[in-house]
Amino acid sequence: MSASLLLQAVILGVLLGGLYALLAAGLTLYFGIMRVVMIAHAAFLVLAAYLAWWINREMGIDPLLSLVVTVPLFFVIGVLIQRLLVSRLKPLTLTMMSVLLTFAVALVIEGGLGFLFTGTQRRIPLSYASDSLNLFGAQVPVVKLIAFGLAALSLALLFLLLKYTRFGQALRATIQHPEAARLVGINTDRVAGYGFGLGLATAAIGGTALSLDATIYPSLHWHWIGPLMAIIVVGGLGSIPGAAIAALVLGVAQSLLQLPMGPTWAQTVFYIALFLTLMFRPQGFFGGRLAKRF
């Protein structure tokens, strides 16, 4: 296999890893805030992709513009999910029951999409879909670059928001020690709700980025939730930098393995990494103790 093919695989892997990193950051937020494993994250991702496709079909505008609608909408939905559903669960069984609850949400979304748009595979027709840039002899599709740019920009914004704003400090305090956060006057319920909103907003951005160059169908989310959950476990549950590193490493590994093994078998790399992590380092590679990073 030629060097340019290898280079291309690495670049595509990094681009894919960027998208994984953004989505994994959302999952990490939910887990950090309330120890919730949000199975419905990928379902919302597919929902956002469908909204981009639908807006494009009905109004003929660029799918990227749908972000103006989907990001605020998903933020509100995230707040509502936290306030109306997750916060009603008993604290003792929260993690297990939240899995089931968000699983139920995922089923409703998948069923709803199938009901409204049927199971037909959809794709947004884009004028620049087949354009590609030549980077050091590797052909990189423009849509993948846009998706990566979107993901990287959102991750950077999320990082700045969490690190330097008052709200970010309050959120990190809530993650580290909810009771202490309440003692210093943080309204942890409200902050947790907004944190969920932020997490779901990453799904809106990721879904729009995904809709640019992927064929979408209602049950697509199962192909995303597995790798995403593997990433957050390998990275160490609750650590956003850990999730980002794991996302990039595994994204590149998947992309490289696609060359000899084909796309289907290459996906198993996530599950093998998950299995090995749990066997040898169950707390994850980059996270260590939960939520110490942010």
Partner 1 sequence: MPSASNPGPVITETIVVAPSAPVRPSWSKWVRITLLVVGAALVLAFPTIAPNPYILSAGVVILNYAVLSTGWNFMGGFTGYISLGHAAYFGLGAYGTALLIRNFALPSFLAWFVAALLVAIIAIPVGIAALRVRGASFVIVSIAFVLILLLVFQSWRDVTGGSEGLTVPRPFPDLLRPEHHRVFYYLFAALLAVALAVWWIIDRSKFGTALKSIREDEDKSQSLGVPTTQYKLIAYVLSAVFVSFGGGLYALWFGDLDPIFQFSILIGSYMVLMALLGGVRNLFGPLLGAVVVGSALEYFKLEFGDTQFHLIATGILLGVVVLFMPDGIIPAVKALFTRSSNQASIREVTAGELLEENRARSAETVPPRRPDASGEETP
Considering the complex, state which of residue 163 and residue 281 has its C-beta at the smaller distance from partner 1.
281
CB of residue 14 to partner 1, shortest distance in Å: 24
CB of residue 182 to partner 1, shortest distance in Å: 19
CB of residue 238 to partner 1, shortest distance in Å: 10
Considering the complex, state which of residue 168 and residue 235 has its C-beta at the smaller distance from partner 1.
235
Task: Give me 209's structure tokens.
Answer: 């980025």
Alpha-carbon distance 270 to 263, whole Å?
13
Residues that bind partner 1 (CB under 8 A): 31, 35, 37, 39, 85, 88-93, 95-97, 99-101, 103-108, 110-115, 119, 218, 222-223, 225-226, 229-230, 232-233, 237, 264-265, 267-268, 270-271, 274-275, 278-279, 282-283
SS3 290: coil
Task: Give me 134's structure tokens.
Answer: 């030549």
Considering the complex, state which of residue 88 and residue 166 has its C-beta at the smaller distance from partner 1.
88
Contact at 8 Å (CB) between 208 and 63?
yes
CB of residue 141 to partner 1, shortest distance in Å: 25
Considering the complex, state which of residue 5 and residue 272 has its C-beta at the smaller distance from partner 1.
272
Report the amino acid identity of residue 292. K
CB of residue 233 to partner 1, shortest distance in Å: 6
Considering the complex, state which of residue 31 and residue 294 has its C-beta at the smaller distance from partner 1.
31
Alpha-carbon distance 214 to 216, whole Å?
6
At residue 140, φ and ψ (nearest 5 deg) are -120, 120
b or e along 12-24 (b: 16 or more beta carbons within 10 Å of the residue's beta carbon)?
bbebbbbbbbbbb
Alpha-carbon distance 159 to 148, whole Å?
16
